[in-house]
Structure 1
Amino acid sequence: MEDLNEYRKYFPVTNNLTFLNHASISPISSLVYDTINNFFKERLNYSCFDYTKWTDRVITIRAEVGEFIGAKANEISFLSNTSHGLNIIANGINWKKGDNIVVVYPDFPSNIYVWQNISIIMNGDVEIRFVKREQSGYIDLNMIKSCICKNTKLLSITSVDYMSGFNANLKDIGEFCKKQKILLCVDAGQSIGVIPIDVHELNIDFLVFCTYKWLSGPLGFGVLYVNDCIIDDIKPVFVGWKSVINEELFELNFKLQQDSCKFEYGVLSFSNVFGIKSALDLVKEIGIQRIQNKIFHLNEILRDELSNRDQKIISSFNHVERSGIIVVKPNFNDLDDFKSYFHNNKISITVRHGLIRISPSYYNNIEDIKRFLNVFDDFCYHR
């Protein structure tokens, strides 16, 4: 197993914390920091003197982001976060009375609220149907099929469940949705950067993701993919000067752009666009497979060690169902004390709903895992 220790130097957080919480808000690398900082230095000293250079860079980065997920540049738009992208999709579809939307439950709140809001806007004429996942996070195609009917217009699902780490079988789900002519919307925030994804190969119509988790990219930035076969069908609810063709001519000629750029209705956060470029460059330099192998290896050590301590592992370790997340149901209940104890010992994890979620990244090492286990043992001994 490659240790990838040469990349640890890019993450100064390792000098201050044992950070095992990349399913939450990850630290940025020094490379991303330098890129963003250099942009602000340029703006400080020269303002927008080289604005055209900025916009040219955005064109290049849009293509690179698209390539990373198997999409074309015209299918990619840059937004503020995942919820922003989900709302563009939900409010841009032409819903009709009797349509229904199938949603996995429980899930991250944004993936529920957005669709519930559509039902409210449509005065209940669009039904929300819930597929209930198991406690392990397990969900399969047969469970989804049980909620599908001829009026199902869209299925919304996360690629990886945030509280179990279960990795959905998007290949089978995508093939089914394509045959049934059901739109497939995927939130890939908990998989992007760890699990390879190809939107066209998986028959995904919409993909959204934030960049501050496994990519260790900027906060307040998200990516939306819309299959170019249906871009014309998705009507932007918000528009602005950037939504139209030849926007910089200021002709007051309201003709929407013909690609996903129509969803970018104002000035982009250039600092974040350039920051995600640096984050992606690092991921591509290392390689997704090497990243995945390292994270899976660390999680296997955690699984074995915690199982030996009589802790119940919720997350699946089946190769096609696993992710970068490992979730544990502890054999004790004083989790508020546990959370405080780890915080005081400068170890970052997530404690929620009676579960412990651990999510290491590729720059973590065996010593980080040992430190987690030592503090875990200390807590159990003193409680």
Structure 2
Amino acid sequence: MLVSDLVSRDPDGAATRFLRVRDQTLRIVTNSPEADGLVSETFSLPGMLGVGESGPEREPDLVIADVAQDPSDVAELLQRSAETAVHGVYELTRHYRQPRFDGEGHTVFVLRDQNSDEVAALIRTEGRMTLVRPRSGLGDRWLTRIIRDVATRIAKAEGSLVLHSSAFAHDDGAYLVIGDSGAGKSTTAIALARLLPSAGWMGNDRMHLDQRGPGYQVTACPLPLAVNKGSLDVMGVTDFGSWNVRAGFPPAGSDWDRFQGEDKLKLSTREVGRHLGVRVVPNAPLAGVLLPRVDREAGYSLAPASAAHAAEVITRNCFSLDDNLYGEDWLEVPVRRRAAPPSVGVFLEHLAKLPVLRCSVGSAADVARLAADFEDRVRR
């Protein structure tokens, strides 16, 4: 299995689709029905992360080929690359470095998830990225991950402000749910999306904001919704035992059934709608911000956030221009145009015109009360 063969032709029996990311076209090729299905599940609504189905109207800006092989073939590719190319390292994700091999006209990157020893590879050539990875559940996820990484880099290059935030939609407006890890962003966002009339869930963990006239447009980044049983308890969800989820339930011995367990159940965009019964909204104009605290020991509260508190939390959870998000730009994603994002200061000035609330909940009853009180607050 030579690099020249892998990058010069598509795998036999491969499915091809075209995706539009903002104003750029990606040609996606895979010989794995499971990987193709996961792409559909993740970007199931046009507009998630600015991604939508397209057609071959023009030459693609980038080709991403996904080639599922036997593990021995992947190992052979990496061994040959190690013997014939220049060794280096790169930052796959923050503080997580992996080997790379620079050859003539191509670079081979070793792909390894932080929680697994399974090894895959990505070959970068001009205008093309070729994934070579084992036929496995973990391997099937690499294609979606690379598409999401490419779309994020395009958005960031074109001037998106990126926030560590969940979000829900209400009355056609987007409400960011911002807080540090463990604050309860995902729980609060999905709970309100389920309870508020005319509401919807926008996404988990990361939102992209673009200036549109006097306001901001919020676009969801379709990372999996990660919840533990404590979050489901707070939402009053009890029927999860019957769910059929692509990623499966956390294994026996995990702590996912604790209130703030680290092991979590992961749901794709489409699974959120299917199992939690919520409408998924890919983008909406910014309407306000909620700063949550989910804590069984704390009492219920909902009140306007002070400007100082809001600025502290939002600034701490805003990705700066220098934040690499996914590690270094090892993919070298081509972009058509570049723009600087709005400053955090300008964004905070805009928020002064919108509802910015902080809340505390610890039970399903608190969440129900929050939904009623929130609706009353934003109507004023």
State the TM-score, normalized to the length of structure 2.
0.25
State the TM-score, normalized to the length of structure 1.
0.25
Identify the structure with the greater helix proportion. 1
Identify the structure with the greater strand proportion. 2
For CA contacts below 8 A with separation 6 or more, give which structure has more relative contact order: 1
